[in-house]
Amino acid sequence: MSFTLPDLPYAHDALQPFMSKETLEYHHDKHHLAYVTNGNNLLKGTEWEGKSLEEIVKGSFGKNAGLFNNAGQHYNHLHFWKWMKPNGGGAIPGKLEKAIVDGLGSVDKMKEDFIQAGVTQFGSGWSWLAVKDGKIVVMKSANGESPLVQGASPILGCDVWEHSYYIDYRNRRPDYLKAFVDHLVNWEYVAEMYEAAIK
Ligand code: MN3
């Protein structure tokens, strides 16, 4: 398969004031597009041509850095757009909420740990909720890596590369992460990925 850039599931200005139209114009229209274009070029002629995106991400990790970086970021961003919605951050669907409490103690603790993972990720990367050995855990990763290459299934990720927040928050990464958790997360989509992860 080749990679294609999906449309955003909402208008570019729909996440304001927490994520601006300008940020999404750069982040989706330019950064994500570059991962798609570069990924397609680097995929050509490799053993992973014709494989699924997840197989490409896992297979190229540690073997083909250029392809991995672009395919990994394509995977991460495909979901990142769907992990947000206008007026997000509200109630968590019951079954997912129970699994969060089982794995991490409480919803507040999960939010605190998720934000802390993003704040302490040195340089570019992501903070994550993932399912590992049937339990929900908080993880972080560098650059284009994700729980997929750490033996886990990602169910929520926040992009902490500067391109994701510098226009709106400058150097205030903690404020960006807090706004993401409180106002942007689409918990219904997280619940959908949780269901898929525990199958
Ligand atoms: Mn990004």
Amino acid, single-letter form, for residue 122 = F
Strand order in the sheet with 135-142: 135-142, 125-132, 153-159
Q: Could you read off the pLDDT of 16-41 as tens digits, one per residue?
A: 999 999 999 999 999 999 999 999 99
Ligand 1 geometric centre to CA of 27 (Å): 6
For residue 141, count other CB atoms closer than 10 A to its CB: 24
Sequence letter at residue 121: Q
With a cut of 50, list the residues of the chain below it in pLDDT.
none
CA 100 to ligand 1 centroid distance, Å? 26
Asked whether the whole model's pTM tops 0.85, one would answer yes
Q: What local confidence, expressed as pLDDT, does residue 59 receive?
A: 97
Ligand 1 center–CA 77 separation, angstroms = 6
Whole-number Å distance between alpha carbons of 69 and 90: 32
Closest CA to 40 of 14, 16, 76, 4: 4
Residue 130: in which H helix or E strand, if any? strand 125-132
Query: What pLDDT, on the 0 to 100 scale, is given for residue 1?
Result: 65
Full set of structural domains in the chain with CATH: 21-82 (1.10.287.990), 94-197 (3.55.40.20)
pLDDT at 114: 98
Question: Cα of 107 to ligand 1 centre, how many Å?
Answer: 26
Residue 44 C-alpha to ligand 1 middle, in angstroms? 23
